[in-house]
A = this chain, B = another copy of it.
Amino acid sequence: MPEPGREPADEYELGENRYGKSRIRLVTVRRDPKRHHLRDLTVAVALEGDFDDVHTRGDNAGVIATDTMKNTVYAFARDRLVGSPEAFGLELARHFAGYDACSRAFIDIEEHRWLRIPEDAGEAPDAFVRAGDLTRLAHVAVDKAGGVEVEAGVGELTVMKTTKSAFKGFDRDRFTTLPEVEDRLMATKLRATWGYRPELAAAASFEFDAAWDRARLALRQSLADHFSPSVQASIWIMSTAIMDAEPSIDWVRMVLPNLHHWQVDLAPFGLDNPGEVFVSTTEPHGLIDATVHRRGGARPPSG
């Protein structure tokens, strides 16, 4: 592949690299005689390893085709997708980390929630509605030596606090026009991920579903309860609440857009507006990204 008489590898070298298959859309139906169980996942696989010759020499020996990754996900789904998405991710990641060329395998899962449709006689055994209120996230990394990192989280969670949110005392300079406010709407499309202590997460007995439930409940409760002096402070408060509730979590990261709701000036129309009518906007938005750690705990992987 290198042009004759030219060896780019003398001047250049391969740096960080990773490849895999994204957007593997997987639905499973477990057909209990009494009622069906539906799951809906979007899976991504990525591998790191010794792929220098693949890039620099066009030598595909050792390459696991991304099509093979896709096949593996579906095959594993046949009988190994029986518990948490994290456990499924670990099975897959351990499999891929076993390939010679692979030094570390990553599995990324979004699990979409479906609810049974309510009927007069209870819940439907075989009809479902997509919940749409949040997505469960799982991210797993397994290295050649068996080292494990497990992250979980929630995404696509759109929430609003209609009071108990202020923003004041901030820096003012010649480009500042925003007034201080004691009481504003705070709206965000929340994405929170957290890392479990590696030695706990690596144990077969670790209960990912229970941990996720406790974390989610703490997030929900603290989200509703707390007074927010800023989105930054909200991240601290909600993140520490999550770790208070779930000791296996060593860190929490939140990436929160601040989806501004501007109070409409109705004075031109002879009307007051005591915090009742707002324009909902998405552009531009604030974006706050912060990680909170348990002192002495594990750190999130960089990148």
Among residues of B, the one whose C-beta sits closest to the C-beta of A254 is B17
What is the interface residue range for chain A against chain B?
35 or more
A202 interface hit (Cβ, 8 Å): no
Residues of B within 8 A of A63 (CB): 169-171, 230, 232
For the complex, give the distance between the alpha carbons of A277 and B15 in Å. 37
What are 8 A-B residue pairs whose CB atoms fall within 8 Å in the complex?
A: A12-B243, A14-B236, A15-B293, A18-B289, A22-B287, A51-B232, A63-B230, A117-B220
Residues of B within 8 A of A156 (CB): 132
> Within A148-173, which residues are at the interface with B (CB < 8 Å)?
156-164, 167-171, 173
For the complex, give the distance between the alpha carbons of A13 and B173 in Å. 30
A129 interface hit (Cβ, 8 Å): yes
Identical copies of this chain, number: 4
Interface class of chain A by DSSP: mixed
Given contacts A10-B295, A117-B159, A126-B163, 17 further A-B contacts (CB under 8 A): A17-B232, A17-B289, A25-B279, A25-B280, A36-B162, A62-B171, A63-B230, A66-B258, A68-B173, A68-B176, A68-B177, A101-B171, A117-B220, A119-B220, A119-B221, A127-B224, A128-B162
A: which residues have CB within 8 A of B?
A: 1, 8, 10-31, 36, 38, 40, 44, 46, 51, 54-68, 70-72, 74-75, 77-79, 99, 101, 114-115, 117-120, 124, 126-134, 156-164, 167-171, 173-178, 185, 220-221, 223-225, 227, 229-233, 235-237, 239-240, 243-244, 251, 253, 257-258, 261, 264, 266, 268-271, 273-295, 299-300, 302-303
Taking the nearest CB of chain B, how far is it from the CB of A80, in angstroms? 11
Among residues of B, the one whose C-beta sits closest to the C-beta of A77 is B277
For the complex, give the distance between the alpha carbons of A250 and B299 in Å. 30
Taking the nearest CB of chain B, how far is it from the CB of A214, in angstroms? 13
Contact B232 A27 (CB under 8 A): no
Taking the nearest CB of chain B, how far is it from the CB of A213, in angstroms? 13
Question: Contacts A68-B178, A233-B54 hold; do A171 and B287 have CB atoms under 8 A apart?
Answer: no
